[in-house]
Amino acid sequence: MPEISRFFGMAIAMFYNDHAPPHFHVTYGNRRAAIVIDTGEVLAGELPPRAMKLVQEWRMLHLEALRDDWALAVDHKPLLRIEPLE
């Protein structure tokens, strides 16, 4: 699972050839969640409220880059790093 960003102890990654809808995975300590790129819906797992707020803020800032990385993952091409939240 290629990591595309890391900030505040959270690792953001995407799987190659993953199922729809387009989403990314977040690991924060022993917590994990899968987040839909376009809507921010949680597909699976959960994060603490503060971590979820930061992930959603980052998602909104990088929607286009996330969509681009999803397209690359579908084509089994190397994913691009996305700037962390600062």
pLDDT tens, residue by residue, 38-53:
999 999 999 999 999 9
pLDDT for 58: 98
- Residue the block writes with tokens 């990385």: 69
> What is the pTM for the complete model shown?
0.95
Asked if residues 55 and 45 have their Cβ atoms less than 8 Å apart, the reply is no
Map residue 24 onto helix, strand or coil: strand
pLDDT for 17: 83
Is the alpha carbon torsion for 7, 11, 15, 21 positive or negative?
negative
Distance CA 7, CA 77 (A): 24
pLDDT for 29: 97
In which band, very low, low, confident or very high, does the pLDDT at 1 lie, cut at 50, 70 and 90?
A: confident
